[in-house]
């Protein structure tokens, strides 16, 4: 509560399949435009990069870090007096019509050959939310999503953000580096469609092309696997390659990778511009990436999806889905509802 009252910048985060929550209280905040600066990946800090890294501010937090063990701290307390309501205006036919209109613009760009795939995201607002209860929401996320990267971020100028991301962006662990192709979404009981398989394949090919462009030929690619996250399933491919192959080039590699076709589209720049000019909201930190860089040069960075922003006594939940030539508007809109549901349920 004290951090919110004093508007102190901080981030609390928990790595996947861990019982440890780390709290970093920012003593300094550096604002910059992310363009692949190498020192970001060699000096200890917590970095936050937005989706539109060219036109929006990225952040670097440095400060004292405190470790908590959730098995010792106990389970989060449930609050019984929380009253929430999904904003009627954002469940209206007008909103759905706006999504469908944007969908048609993206499909037109696909048919014209401008892009092969683009991610269309939307917002869903939950009213009457007290942002100081974000700690409660965060602890519940940690409990409900043990395999996700869970975080709570208070950043003056950006508000309070929290999420449970299933998607690794880039990791260095001593001599090995990893990145992940995560795309395609379905309900647990459904079969994978050709559209979903193709969507994930686009992301995998993109990663392979970047690896090749950096002269990395000796990478390992795991078989495509189905993984569960927040009540839905995705297709996932993990890539392994030597950390030495990116010596002095981790920043440039991250800049080439971001934003990937999983959150942007392909070709990247054309899809990015299409998104910026088609979506009727600012993505801000949604579909960017964030995470801790350690003093020894190891880091774990995650794509900022399955997230929400708490501001002005409301929660803005972000959800998106990949649009390809095979996409249908009703099905894609339903997918965004499915992805947003677990966060909305958390608040309600």
Residue position matching structure tokens 């309070």 = 160
- CATH number for position 52: 3.60.120.10
pLDDT for residue 7: 72
- Nearest alpha carbon to residue 165 among 35, 23, 318: 318
* pLDDT confidence of residue 97: 86
Q: Which two tokens stand for residue 70?
A: 């959730």
Q: How confident is the model at residue 348, as a pLDDT?
A: 74
Would 196 be classed as within a structural domain?
A: yes
Query: Per the domain annotation, does 26 fall within a domain?
Result: yes
Q: How does pLDDT run across 30-79, given as a tens digit for each residue?
A: 999 999 999 999 999 999 999 999 999 999 999 999 998 876 444 443 33
pLDDT-derived band at 168 (thresholds 50, 70, 90) equals very high
Q: Is 75 a domain residue?
A: no
- Output the six-digit token pair for 241: 């390659």
The kind and range of the H/E element at 136 are: helix 134-144
Instruction: Quote the CA–CA distance of 131 and 82 in Å, as a whole number.
Output: 12
Instruction: Specify the pTM.
Output: 0.93
Domain assignment present for residue 78? The answer is no
Split into its structural domains, the chain has a count of 1
Confidence of residue 162 (pLDDT cuts 50, 70, 90): very high
Q: Is the separation of the CB atoms in 316 and 309 below 8 Å?
A: yes
Give the structural domain span for 220. Answer: 2-69+83-347
Indicate if the alpha-carbon torsion angle 252, 35, 206, 124 is positive or negative. Answer: positive
Does residue 24 have a pLDDT over 50? yes
pLDDT over 50 at 124, yes or no: yes
Is 76 inside a domain boundary? no
User: Residue 167 pairs with which residues in a beta bridge?
Assistant: none
* Residue-level pLDDT at 273: 97
DSSP 8-state symbol, 11: E
Supply the DSSP symbol for 101: H
Residue 25 has pLDDT above 80, yes or no: yes
Structural domain includes residue 203: yes
What is the distance between the alpha carbons of residues 170 and 3, in angstroms, rounded to a whole number?
Answer: 29
CA distances to 161, 176, 206, 220 from 46, rounded to whole Å, are 15, 20, 27, 28
β-strands 265-266, 117-127 pairing: antiparallel
Mean of the pLDDT values across residues 195-215? 96
Q: Residue 5 — pLDDT band, cuts 50, 70, 90?
A: low
According to the model, what pLDDT value does residue 6 have?
52
Say what the pLDDT of residue 301 is: 98
Q: What angle do CA 192, 230, 95 make, to 5 degrees?
A: 85
201 pLDDT above the threshold of 50: yes
pLDDT in tens, 245-277: 999 999 999 999 999 999 999 999 999 999 999
Question: How much is the pLDDT for 325?
Answer: 94
How far is residue 346's CA from residue 348's CA, in Å, rounded to a whole number?
Answer: 6
First to last CA, the chain: 21
Per-residue pLDDT of 218-235, as tens digits, reads 999 999 999 988 778 999
* Residue whose entry in the numeric block shows the structure tokens 């890539």: 239
Label residue 314 left, alpha or beta by phi (over 0 means left) and psi (-120 to 50 means alpha).
beta
- Which residue matches tokens 């209860």? 133
DSSP codes joined into one string, 100-156: HHHHHHHHHHHHTTS-SEEEEEEEEEEES--GGGHHHHHHHHHHH-TTSEEEEEEET
Q: Residue 212: CB partners within 8 Å, gap ≥ 6?
A: none
- Note whether residue 322 is domain-resident: yes
Nearest by Cα to 47 from 34, 67, 56, 256: 34
Task: Give the highest mean pLDDT range of 86-100, 201-215, 310-324.
Answer: 201-215
pLDDT(175) > 50? yes
């Amino acid at each position: 509560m004290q951090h919110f009252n004093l508007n102190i910048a901080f981030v609390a985060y928990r790595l996947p399949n861990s019982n440890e929550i780390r709290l970093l209280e920012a003593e300094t905040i550096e604002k910059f435009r992310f363009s692949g600066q190498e020192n970001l990946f060699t000096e200890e800090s917590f970095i936050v990069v937005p989706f539109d890294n060219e036109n929006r501010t990225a952040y670097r937090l440095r400060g004292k870090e405190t470790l908590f063990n959730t098995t010792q701290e106990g389970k989060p307390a449930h609050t019984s007096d929380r009253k929430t309501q999904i904003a009627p205006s954002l469940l209206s036919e007008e909103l759905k019509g706006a999504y469908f209109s944007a969908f048609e613009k993206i499909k037109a760009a696909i048919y014209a050959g401008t892009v092969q795939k683009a991610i269309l995201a939307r917002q869903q607002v939950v009213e009457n939310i007290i942002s100081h209860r974000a700690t409660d929401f965060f602890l519940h996320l940690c409990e409900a999503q043990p395999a996700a990267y869970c975080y709570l971020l208070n950043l003056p100028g950006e508000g309070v953000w929290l999420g449970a991301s299933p998607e690794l962006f880039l990791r260095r662990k001593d001599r090995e580096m990893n990145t992940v192709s995560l795309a395609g979404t379905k309900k647990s009981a459904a079969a994978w469609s050709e559209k979903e398989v193709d969507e994930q394949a686009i992301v995998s090919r993109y990663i392979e092309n970047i690896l090749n462009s950096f002269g990395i030929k000796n990478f390992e690619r795991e078989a495509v696997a189905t993984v569960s996250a927040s009540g839905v399933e995705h297709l996932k491919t993990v890539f392994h390659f030597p950390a030495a192959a990116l010596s002095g080039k981790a920043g440039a590699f991250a800049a080439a990778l971001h934003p990937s076709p999983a959150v942007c589209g392909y070709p990247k720049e054309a899809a990015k511009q299409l998104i910026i000019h088609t979506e009727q909201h600012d993505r801000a930190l949604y579909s960017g990436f964030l995470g801790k860089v350690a003093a020894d040069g190891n880091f774990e960075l995650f794509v900022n999806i399955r997230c929400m922003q708490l501001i002005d006594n409301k929660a803005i939940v972000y959800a998106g889905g990949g649009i390809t030539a095979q996409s249908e508007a009703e099905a894609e809109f339903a997918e965004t509802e499915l992805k947003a549901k677990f966060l909305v349920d958390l608040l309600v």
